[in-house]
Amino acid sequence: MSNEFEQNLEKAGNYLQRFQSTVTGHFIGGEFTAGNGKTFSNTTPVDQSTLGEVAEGSVDDVDAACEAAEAAFANWRDMPGAERKKLLNHFADKIVERAEEIALVESMDCGQAIRFMKAAAVRGAANFRFFADKAPEAGDGQALLQAEHTNYTLRYPIGPVGIITPWNTPFMLATWKIAPALAAGCTIVHKPAELTPLSAYLLAEIAKDAGIPDGVWNTVNGFGEVSGKRLTEHPAIKAVALVGESATGSHIMRQGAETLKRMHFELGGKNPVIVFDDADFDRALDAVVFMIYSLNGQRCTSSSRLLIQSGIRERFVAALEERVRKLRVGHPLDPQTEVGPLVHSGHFNKVMSYMDIARQDGATVAVGGQRRDDLGAGNYVAPTLFTNADNNMRVAREEIFGPVLTAISFDTEEQAVAIANDTDYGLSAYIWTENSGRAMRLARQVEAGMLWINSENNRNLPSPFGGVKMSGIGRDGGDYSFDFYMETKNVCVAHGTHKVPVLGR
């Protein structure tokens, strides 16, 4: 065990102690509360031991949080953008101060390797700084001129909003959704995933410490079917932003129908990475490995389908097999670890079930395919590569959400496009070719919200982020986020010269 690993374990133990000795509660109207006393147990995927008890949000808890968000809305909306900017930048500073704690707690809660989680706090702070700086101009609209009228548009925050987040990168995703909502002038009720509640609690603490006014930020823990459901039904909540599974998006759309909520969904994917014969072999190989095996493959934009052109297939797959075999699986706090344990035993069992499904459907399990028993009771899966697959197999069609890659061969550009698009999903796609004309053609033809050409997933906060088909509705990033969290009002002013229609004179 390296020194750094030992130190990480010790520090994480210290940070986690408080969650073991008291119930992780909700944050409502500026107060931490355990609600009605009902709790559920939060386990770590490292060894299934408990990290403590968490308040199980009830309908009453959610109602209280929504009422707090509603009561705080007018003051927050009316706070000048420049002041919101200052406050949210201050909040980002506070995140950075607690970066180590956030990373260690998050790794133990969700199983993501510390090498990736180290950057989580910094990215979370960057999300806040980016949107904070845009707060002063969030309300700016357009001037649309006509001969005898001038139209101008105003934007104003839609109201209290519900933010529902998943367990895969809980801290980063919560900041990604909450930062633009607050910068726009909305108040929020956050419902974090029941499997990973700890970093949401830290965020609420930071909000209080940073001086975000009471009621502007509320957090309610609990299960999707109870607290999540109530949040999507509450009349005070004007919009719901969900990051989660496609099926959850459908539920939420139904639940929010009665109160006509505006919805923004970032959902699942089965994203293709298309590697042509003329690709830069080494860079493509690095990116293919990174985009499915980093973050335990629990990543919405992971490239879980490799479409490989027949001319380089043998050489590429052989190199890939070697790399996948060498991936270092282990404890998430070991700085050497590249792949950690999957978030929960239920999800682990789901991922493991695809090993048999792949074999039954006729794919080859070229690497992995089993549990890493040598690593103890944690949810450790051997990084897995399926080859000789076709796009009709379940491992090519269903989102597995683990360190599992399905390789499919193609001959022509047309075939690559057809296979890439033969899916219910459309979140992201990756294209590797040195032929720029072909890259441009595919950029138009491949059905996805986001395409990366000769790159792994590179993040740019002003760019639109989101999916098509079953992968989502709406876009985040830059001004796209403000469009969701704000209403646009058109004001039409006459110049006093046009002819007003005359009736009944």
CB of 299 to ligand NAD, least distance (A): 7
Query: Of residues 56, 194, 245, 266, which has the active-site annotation?
Result: 266
β-sheet bridge partners, residue 329:
339
d(CA 242, CA 240): 6
Alpha carbon distance 429, 442 (integer Å): 10
Q: Which residues bind ligand NAD (CB under 6 A)?
A: 164-168, 173, 191, 193-194, 223-225, 228-229, 232, 243-245, 248, 251-252, 255, 266-269, 300, 399, 401, 427, 467, 472
Least distance in Å: CB of 446 to ligand NAD? Answer: 17
- Residue 370 neighbours by CB under 8 Å, 6+ apart: 355, 382
Cα-trace Rg, the chain: 24
CA distance 129 to 135: 10
DSSP codes joined into one string, 253-280:
HHHTTTTT-EEEEE-----EEEE-TTS-
Q: Which is nearer to ligand NAD, 170 or 332 (CB)?
A: 170
CB of 166 to ligand NAD, least distance (A): 3
Q: Is 186 a catalytic residue?
A: no
The counts of H helices and E strands in the chain are 16, 20
Taking each helix axis from N to C end, the angle separating 81-97 and 198-210, rounded to the nearest 10 degrees, works out to 130
DSSP string, 120-184: HHHHHHHHHHHHHHHGGGTT---EEE-SSEEEEEEEEE--SEEEE--SSSHHHHHHHHHHHHHHH
- Smallest gap from Cβ 270 to ligand NAD, in A, equals 9
Name the nearest CA neighbour of 264 among 186, 194, 202, 196. Answer: 186
CA gap 236, 446 in Å, rounded: 39
When the beta carbons of 81 and 256 are compared against ligand NAD, the nearer one is: 256
Would you call 266 a catalytic residue per the annotation?
yes
Q: What is the closest distance, in whole angstroms, from the C-beta atom of residue 254 to ligand NAD in the complex?
A: 9
d(CA 176, CA 186): 14
Category of 222 on φ-ψ map: left (φ > 0), alpha (ψ -120 to 50) or beta: left
CB of 456 to ligand NAD, least distance (A): 16
Comparison of 334 and 476: residue with beta carbon closer to ligand NAD? 476
Q: Least distance to ligand NAD from the beta carbon of 142, Å?
A: 28
Residue 338: phi and psi, rounded to 5, are -105, -30
Q: Closer to ligand NAD by CB, 334 or 399: give it.
A: 399
Among 184, 193, 257, which Cα is nearest to 220's? 193
- Which of 413, 410, 421, 468 lies closest to 438, judged by CA? 413
Round to whole Å and give the CA distance between 427 and 404.
18
Catalytic hit among 56, 66, 300, 398:
300
Q: Are 104 and 253 within 8 A, CB to CB?
A: no
Amino acid identity at 190 = H
Q: CB of 178: closest distance to ligand NAD in angstroms?
A: 14
- Tell me which residues are annotated as active site: 266, 300
